[in-house]
Amino acid sequence: MSRAPQQRRIATHARLLDSAREIVAASSYAEMRVEEVVLRAGVAKGTFFSHFKDKDALLVVLIGEELERVMSDLVVAPPPEDIESLVAALAPLVAAMGSERTVFDIVVRNSGAMAIEEIGPIAQNFGDQIALFVRWIAPLQGTAFRSDADPALLGEGIQAFLVQCIAMNFCLVESQMALEERLLSYLTPWLSAPQA
Amino acid sequence: MSRAPQQRRIATHARLLDSAREIVAASSYAEMRVEEVVLRAGVAKGTFFSHFKDKDALLVVLIGEELERVMSDLVVAPPPEDIESLVAALAPLVAAMGSERTVFDIVVRNSGAMAIEEIGPIAQNFGDQIALFVRWIAPLQGTAFRSDADPALLGEGIQAFLVQCIAMNFCLVESQMALEERLLSYLTPWLSAPQA
DNA sequence: TCCTTATAATGACCGTGGTCACTTTATGAC
DNA sequence: GTCATAAAGTGACCACGGTCATTATAAGGA
C-alpha cells in the first residue's frame, strides 16, 4: 500500500509536463531532449525517470492530450452522412496523427492496450475513436453503409485504413490531397455493401 | 561518376552482413549491437557506418532477406481458393513480420518507398506481396471474392489488415490463434462477394 | 618504380537516453 | 521538539548509436 504523492511531487510532475509542452510548441516532438526538459523544469535528470518510465512515456502523455483535443471536437460535430463527408470529418485526426514521424511512430506503437488494465491514453483514445465511428455508422447501416457487418468491426477497419494511408504518406512524398483520395478509395468498398 | 567498389570493400561488406546474421541467429534483432557486429567482423566502428547509413539500414537488409525467403515459398504454393485458406496461407508472413517488436517496427517504417527510385528491399517486398495477392484474388473474383473493386486495392487492404492484426497482437497479449481469427473477421467483409 | 589521387578503414570523440547508490526533505509517532 | 522511516530528488556514470579528421591501402599514369 503506497501513500498518496506529496504536493512537491505533483508540482514537479506538472513542471516536467509544462516544460515539455513548451519545448514541443517551440520546436517539435523530434527535437525534444530529456536534458532540455529537466533543465527547463529545474530538476535533475534522474527525477525525470522517476516520473516517467522512459522518454516515450512522456511523449505518450503529450500526444494523448493532442488526440484528446481533436476527439473532443469530433464528438460534438455533426455526424457525417456518407463516405465522402466521413473522410472529410477524419481530416483533423489524420492531421494530428500524421503531423510528425515521431508522433505517428508513438501512436502506432501505443495504439493497443499496453497490458490488461494498464491502458495508456493513446490506446484509450483509439477506443474512443471506435466508439465514435460506431455512433456515426450504426444509424446509417442499410442506407449509406453496409449492414452485413458489425459496426465495431467496420470502425476498426476505418482505423486500419487511416493508419495505412498516413504511413504511405510518410513514404511517398505526395500531397495531403492524395491521402484523402486514397482513404476514400479504401473506405468506399469497405463501408458500402459489395455489389454483385 | 564513381568507380566500382574494390574487392576489399565487397569482402568487408559481406563480413559485416555475416556477423550480423550470426548474432541475430544466436540472440535476436533487438539484442544486436553495432559494436558487436564490427568486433566480430574485425573492423572499426566507422567502417560500419561507411557501409550502412545507420543501424536500421542493416536491419532493413536482413529483414528484407527473411521476407524474401517467405515470399519465395508463397509464390510457388498453390493459391488459396477461399478466405479461410487465404488466412492460412498468410500465416508464414504473419510469423515473419510479427516475430519481434523490432522486426515489426522496422517493417512498418520501411513498408513504403523511401523516395522515388530509392526503393528499399522491404518496400520492394511489400510490392511483391500485392502482386501475389492480385494473382490469387483476380481469378476468383465473381465467385469466392467480390468483383466490385480493383484487385490491387483489395490486396492493399489485406496488407492493412495484416499490419493491424499484428500490431494488436503485440499489445493484447493473446495467442496466435486469436490473430488468425481476427484477421478472418476483417477479411471476410473486405473480400467476400455479396450474400444472396 | 615512384608519385598522385581516389577509395577504404580507423578510432577517439560526441550526444543522448537511461541507471543507481546516495543525499535531502517531508511525515507521523512518541 | 526529536527521531525513525519513507518518499523525493540528485548527478556522476554507463551504454550505445553515430561522426569526422586522419591514416592506410589500392589503382593508374609518367
Does the CB of B153 have a partner CB in chain A at under 8 Å?
yes
B196 pLDDT band (50/70/90 cuts)? very low
Cell 544486436 -> residue: B32
Cell 494488436 -> residue: B168
Does the pLDDT at position B2 exceed 80?
no
Cβ distance A160 to B112 less than 8 Å, yes or no, reads no
Does the CB of A113 have a partner CB in chain B at under 8 Å?
yes
Torsion angles phi and psi, residue A98, rounded to 5: -105, 15
B97: closest CA among B190, B22, B169? B169
**Contact status, residue B61 vs residue B161, Cβ threshold 8 Å:** no
For the record, the C-alpha cell of A128 comes out as 474512443
CA distance to partner chain A, nearest, from residue B143 (Å): 10
Percentage of residues of chain A with pLDDT beyond 70: 92
Does the pLDDT at position B115 exceed 70?
no
Does the CB of A147 have a partner CB in chain B at under 8 Å?
no
Cell 517486398 -> residue: B125
Tell me which of A41-50, A166-175, B43-52, B56-65 is least confident.
A166-175
A96/A161 Cα distance (integer angstroms): 16
CA distance to partner chain A, nearest, from residue B10 (Å): 29
B175 pLDDT band (50/70/90 cuts)? low
For the record, the C-alpha cell of A178 comes out as 492524395
Any idea how long chain B is?
Answer: 196
Average pLDDT, chain A: 93
A180/B17 Cα distance (integer angstroms): 40
What DSSP letter does each residue of A84-139 carry, written as one string? HHHHHHHHHHHHHHTS-HHHHHHHHHTSS-SSTT---HHHHHHHHHHHHHHHHHGG
Contacts of A13 (CB under 8 A, 6+ apart): A5, A51
Query: Which residues from the 88-117 window of protein chain B have CB within 7 angstroms of nucleic acid chain D?
Result: none
Any idea how long chain A is?
Answer: 196
Does the pLDDT at position B177 exceed 80?
no
Does the CB of B193 have a partner CB in chain A at under 8 Å?
yes
Cβ distance B173 to A116 less than 8 Å, yes or no, reads yes
| Predicted pLDDT at B174 | 61
What DSSP letter does each residue of A49-63 carry, written as one string? HHHSSSHHHHHHHHH
| Predicted pLDDT at A195 | 73
B183: closest CA among B101, B100, B80? B80
Nucleotide nearest to B55 (CA to C1'): D17
Does the CB of B178 have a partner CB in chain A at under 8 Å?
no
- Mean pLDDT, to the nearest integer, of A91-106? 97
Q: What is the pTM of this model?
A: 0.92
Contacts of A29 (CB under 8 A, 6+ apart): A59, A62, A63, A100, A102, A103, A106
B116 pLDDT band (50/70/90 cuts)? low
| Predicted pLDDT at B114 | 62
Nucleotide nearest to B16 (CA to C1'): C9
Could you report the per-residue pLDDT of A43-56, keeping only the tens digit for each? 999 999 999 999 99
Amino acid letter for position B167? A
Residues 21-80 in A contacting B (C-alpha not used; CB under 8 Å):
none
Q: How far apart are the first and last CA of chain B?
A: 64
Cβ distance B148 to A113 less than 8 Å, yes or no, reads no
Cell 503529450 -> residue: A62
